[in-house]
Amino acid sequence: MNNLEHLTTETRNTNTMNLDEMSVMDILKTMNAEDQQVPLAIGKVLPQIEAVVQQIIQAFNQKGRLIYMGAGTSGRLGVLDAAECVPTFGTEPEMVQGLIAGGMKAMTVAVEGAEDSASLGEEDLKAISLTKEDIVIGIAASGRTPYVIGGLDYANAIGATTATIACNTNAAISQHASFPIEVEVGPEILTGSTRLKSGTAQKLVLNMLSTVAMIGIGKVYKNLMVDVRPTNEKLVERAKRIIMQATDCTYEVAEQTFIEADQNVKLAIVMILTGMEKEVAAEKLVDANGFIRKTV
């Protein structure tokens, strides 16, 4: 586990051997060129990403949760993606969760030794009462983090679905998951600084997983965030605009129906599209499992 030489994420980038002597513009151009490799690398593993999305949708449909696990940058990205699901898709905080080695204080400061503990990964999953209906996604740029491996082994033991995101091929964590994703983006311009290309790759994959899974359970109509939570003035106005865009109605109609629907964007849209009263529209939406298209 301590041999880093074979990890692409730890090797030196031949394009930046004299990074400290390059001009600012040359460094920026090099970074930009290196970053452009990331989406191309992701494009090569879309079938693996698709398989994980399907598993997330299945978990959600059986009232299971999506749990991200990681240490350092990987853990922080998981926590970020989980947190963004609440305002974007109107989910409960428990539905998508991010666990980071060392707990939430590790979001801003390094917690020594936390990522090296396999037992801590298991303990963190026990603390949230993991069940076999849940899916656990371990995130590790190196693909070898003991905290993640410990969590995956526990998840497998209780029958939960397991997946991984690594930035090396033949990653150790891939051997501990049923649905591994390996995005090899090549050496970083700053050797071993996996918050760069590896972090970007992880962020893009996480964007795909959560967004497409939410589309798959009816939280999007056309290309609109119809389950957005209007928790501030900006989001209230966005909610009204979404209603207008979804139904081609006027601002006044959108605002009035938004109020009548108790600020439930999706319900307001169904009310306008079907002409139904709130209670009937709400029942129709439940029967359609939350898919607006199935109500009209």
279 labelled catalytic: no
Residue from 34, 115, 184, 188 carrying the catalytic annotation: 115
283 labelled catalytic: no
CA distance 147 to 172: 12
Residue from 21, 34, 50, 84 carrying the catalytic annotation: 84
Q: What residues are annotated to the active site?
A: 84, 115
